A and B are shown apart, each in its own frame.
Chain A
């Protein structure tokens, strides 16, 4: 089964009908109807009713529909009771720190006996969460991605958020390593400076190169840039095509290992190239002809 495209995801405040309704037009790979941070404590009930109906009544098109619930200890159960019957695609669990939390949610989803496969996306936002990231990622077959929450994490470890991001570098790396070891996607946090488009680009390319499969957007205007950064460049495409061509040629001629750009093309490189071509096909990016 093809991996879910999650280059971008955007939060929609769960108690604001107008914001929820803007969701379909944003073109994000995933929308997250939020019952947690963007909803005040007195309005949690209103948000539950609104979100559960919105999931049923609004056509979000190609976007994956997720709901961020409150922690189980703070109303998460009521959230699940309200929204699961509507059939969201995934449940986002904030401040996840242990496999027990994930399994508790897995049990509730199983109990609901829904006709649909629902994913769990744990958010790793604390120091403890980072240390337990691998066990969280492995906790259930319903988990197919873990996300890194940079803002809360920075606060939790008593660091200061900087442009360079040194305070979250290790956290990011841990999430990526844990995710890939568990065979799930790694998704990154937001880039919070709305005015700095160049910075968003730089940061997103960097995290893509680190191994993240996508990141969150704090504003709709960021979505397109994020997608651009995750789209293979002409250069990357050309290299991937050449690698596969050379590998196929070497295989046919029985000539052993192929060489592209002076480097031996071995199995990991071929696999990466295959993955990139598949990814490009999904994004309808034009596949160039080989130039070697």
Chain B
């Protein structure tokens, strides 16, 4: 097969099947591609055996890197629980670079603007490949401008765990920033000055990578409690002064938006939810941490309280607003994959009914069951959405890579009702468009679009349209919304790209849902 073989996949995207030496299967539908026949998971080799009285604590990061025998061309991984406050990735990569190690594949669960020093490492050949969630800020833009020779592979939370378990993503060394650890490697994220909540994104890395290093700034007597990541999977522990900036890891209360446009969108989203079968005793929902999402959580809680509806669980991306619902008895439980504020972290630690779940438990499609399959409703964002309800969450409208898929395609596939809440235009940029730059989540998983200029329901959901119509909710077609958007902004030209592929968007089942090309330099 030559790299010129193109096929049209199930979302109508023309994609090559051979990219950078890898053969891909085209996306065939949200649930159309089961795991390979043998259904095997990989198994790493045994690590260092500790004998009585021994521990695996080493004094410096360099010692750790030497101990695990990190070599050229290996794959290293990091989690993103610290978000913009992360110091671990930069710290470790700096040391790796100083030691002259080269040609690494970096496998972070996501990258933030704080990881800008990576650009230098890429230029210097320390990192030549990235398999990650995406890249924000300057790193993402640099990749879009053709910084890397190999395309970055973008996976959702669930897809990343699937790839790790299958061996598609083989990790040689997992570096885990652990807010609290002990001398033999037990870790959690709820204690210590840099507490972040769960260590959900790291569990698969810890279990399946050849070597695991826990990097901490706060140690407790062995064993730490709770144990998020067990010492069974951790071979080296390093104590450093600083692993992350607490103010950027866990903010003080995130504010519900005061913008009347966003409040209106949130209110309409809740109106939709209230008038579907999702709104019932025992309901299970997920919202995010953006301004509109927080408002949705707040208003949904108010409606549930008013109508005496009790939720079974809320899942997230957890914030104080979600926790307050638990405390008021509106929710029975919370499942947390990522905590966004202090309040959520403390609740995770103290509340019996607030538990941490790993990324695999949350979203891995090729495992026994995933939490996303339990969701009645999920409320998500988007940068763009097309007339088939296909959603782009990875790039800006101008083609620049910026955002991770995260749990988007996972929750959208699993939830009974998926609602996208977005303003119709952002400045001069239309959100409802004829063609999205890339498809991150297929339209078949998206049910309702709620904007400040109207609500559109996916025509596939005939019963939902009828039900909402009966409830007196006015709807528009998505074409009408596109027309309104274009009447405000003007019809945009399509951004221009070169032939070079800079990113491969892998669907959660490992198939190829879309590709992103290098942005054509202007003028």
Contact = CB atoms under 8 A, between A and B. Distances in A.
- A–B contact with Cβ pairs below 8 Å: the answer is yes
Interface of B: 258-261, 264, 452, 487
Question: Chain B: interface secondary structure?
Answer: helix
B258 A221 contact: yes
13 contacts: A25-B260, A25-B264, A25-B452, A26-B261, A27-B260, A27-B264, A59-B487, A220-B258, A220-B259, A220-B260, A221-B260, A223-B260, A224-B260
A22 interface: yes
Given A22-B261, A220-B258, 7 more contacts: A25-B260, A25-B261, A26-B260, A27-B260, A220-B259, A220-B260, A224-B260
Interface in A13-33: 22, 25-27
B255 to A, nearest CB: 12
Contacts of B487: 59
A26 B262 CA distance: 10
Interface string A45-73: 00000000000000100000000000000
Contacts of A22: 261
Contacts of B261: 22, 25-26
Contacts, number: 17
Contacts of B260: 25-27, 220-221, 223-224
Interface string A202-245: 00000000000000000011011000000000000000000000
Contacts of B264: 25, 27
A207 to B, nearest CB: 22
Nearest to B452: A25
Contacts of A223: 260
A220 B257 CA distance: 12
Contacts of B259: 220
A259 to B, nearest CB: 36
A12 B275 CA distance: 36
A137 to B, nearest CB: 32
A144 B260 CA distance: 29
A37 to B, nearest CB: 23
B299 to A, nearest CB: 13
A220 B262 CA distance: 12
A223 B259 CA distance: 11
B423 to A, nearest CB: 8
A124 B329 CA distance: 53
A25 B261 CA distance: 5
Contacts of A25: 260-261, 264, 452
Nearest to A25: B261
A27 B268 CA distance: 14
Most A CB contacts (10 A, CB to CB) among B258, B259, B260, B261 go to B260
A220 B487 CA distance: 25
A223 B487 CA distance: 27
Contacts of A26: 260-261
Q: Nearest 7 CB-CB pairs, A to B?
A: A25-B261, A220-B260, A26-B260, A25-B452, A221-B258, A27-B260, A25-B260
A220 B259 CA distance: 8
B417 to A, nearest CB: 25
Contacts of A27: 260, 264
Nearest to B484: A59
